[in-house]
Amino acid sequence: MDIPTEPAAMSAVELVTAYSAGALSPVEATQAVLDAIGERDEPLNAFCLVDPERALVQAKESEARWHSGHVQGLLDGVPISIKDVFLTEGWPTRRGSTCIEADVPWPLDSPVVARLREDGMVFLGKTTTPELAWKAVTDSPLTGVTRNPVDPSKTSGGSSGGSAAAVAAGMGPLSVGTDGGGSVRIPASFCGIVGFKPTWGRIPLYPASPFGPLAHAGPMTRTVEDAALLMDILSLPDPRDPGALAPTVTTFRGQLHRDVRGLTVAYSADLGFADVDSEVAAVVEAAVRRLDEAGLRVVAADPGFAEPLEAFERLWAAGAATMLSKFPEGSRERVDPALGKVWDHGESLSAVDYVDARGVAAEVGIVMGAFHTAYDALITPTMPITAFEAGHDVPPGSGLRSWPQWTPFTYPFNLTQQPAISIPAGTTADGMPVGLQIVGPRHSDDMVLALARYAEQILGS
């Protein structure tokens, strides 16, 4: 095997293959990615912390393991970035907020970070997030605006926008984000990468998210295969999350290549209520046609639930207010002003309001449960639009008041806790990425990944 000339462009699977063949070392790969960060990150602002020293120490330790034949994990020596909402021992976790001090002890790893460390992966640094990951674009009072590698005048999306920008720009093959209303899938769609939100509880979380049953963690990668391998690491148990699901019987990587051509897949162009940009609709329609011609049984069908926007916004505001109520006195004046309004809204809600919203979420879940007795999976556009001008919470000139209004395909499946993945479907005439979303029944994470892998092969051919 020849030594790769562009290790920063390689997938995690390609890196591990090269390590195994002795064609590339973790140190060489890590240095290449660090060089890419140095060259590319300034206009994008994907990272809020980069630690070259620590990364190279970890890479050298991995290199020694590969030389000795005692590899530590599936992705030993593969560089990865971590969204700055996950506790990471020795690094501050400020979550985009000036209200969180950096100069205090940071002794803990969250479950996500603990599993990555146990696997022997190389930590590059932490990626940017809007303050407390509250919205679907990435800018904050602490770190400023994060931009899209395809067109830096546009947003990367959010709230895992730093992670998406890093992966899309070749600044590491992998990252881990969070998704409470689309925050993995939205930036994946905008930046042209893969973003997977598994079934709620599949990846353990600690501390518990104030967004509760909406909150997921998920891999952000350039290939579906990399996402499956990362899922096998991230979904390992952790005793600190009492709501985490039991370990899977099979591996995600082991189920990835199963034959999915006999499945019946519904395609909903708008869920029955979404307004979709005509060019985005055409790109997704063309992708769906190719999948149907390749052997999937695709049937046009809407799930049949009404737009659950109000219920989602109540749950989101209640979670934000719960989190912010624990902040130091005077924080209301320091946070992102739009987040402050969400805080106020959350404090105005009653317990009855919250329970009613949870009831709506349950109703949508029941509808989707019945829907999946007829259809194995659902395909939709990931987003109804492409990335818009950076530095705005809603598309300029749209007249919209809040971010959930422009992401109608993502947040409903946080309410239902179903697995959902965004993969690249194509691009518009001006080169902006368009995502295709695949949604499966709860606990069908392996099937969703296998479908996504098949679709990735067809659409990439």
Distances (CA, A) of 273 to 51, 200, 359, 434: 45, 25, 20, 19
Strands 174-179 and 216-221, bridge-based pairing:
antiparallel
Instruction: Give me the number of domains the chain comprises.
Output: 1
Q: Report DSSP letters for 173-240, one per residue.
A: SEEEEEESSSTTHHHHHHHTSEEEE-STTSS--SSPPTTGGG-EEEEEESSHHHHHHHHHHHTS--TT
Residue 149 burial (C-beta neighbours within 10 Å; 0-12, 13-18, 19+)? buried
* CA–CA dist 49, 223 (Å, integer): 25
Residue 2 lies inside a defined structural domain of this protein: no
Can you tell me which residue has the tokens 């992705």?
75
pLDDT of residue 299: 97
Whether residue 83 is predicted with pLDDT greater than 90 in this model: the reply is yes
Whether residue 12 is predicted with pLDDT greater than 60 in this model: the reply is yes
**Residues whose CB is less than 8 angstroms from the CB of residue 278 and which lie 6 or more positions away in sequence, other chains included:** none
Q: What is the CATH number of the domain that holds 70?
A: 3.90.1300.10
Residue 78 lies inside a defined structural domain of this protein: yes
> What does the pLDDT look like over 315-367, one tens digit per residue?
999 999 999 999 988 888 899 999 999 999 999 999 999 999 999 999 999 99
* CA–CA dist 233, 251 (Å, integer): 10
Residue 124 lies inside a defined structural domain of this protein: yes
pLDDT of residue 333: 87
Catalytically active residues, by annotation: 83, 159, 183
Residue 246 lies inside a defined structural domain of this protein: yes
* CA–CA dist 152, 155 (Å, integer): 7
CB 397: neighbour CB atoms within 10 A? 9
Among the listed residues 307, 322, 362, the one whose alpha carbon sits nearest the alpha carbon of residue 134: 322
Provide the residue range defining the domain that includes 174.
7-310+344-460
Give the residue-averaged pLDDT of 204-233.
Answer: 97
What is the pLDDT confidence band of residue 461, given thresholds at 50, 70 and 90? Answer: confident
pLDDT of residue 192: 98
Residue 334 lies inside a defined structural domain of this protein: no
88, 126 contact by CB (below 8 A): yes
What is the pLDDT confidence band of residue 5, given thresholds at 50, 70 and 90? Answer: low
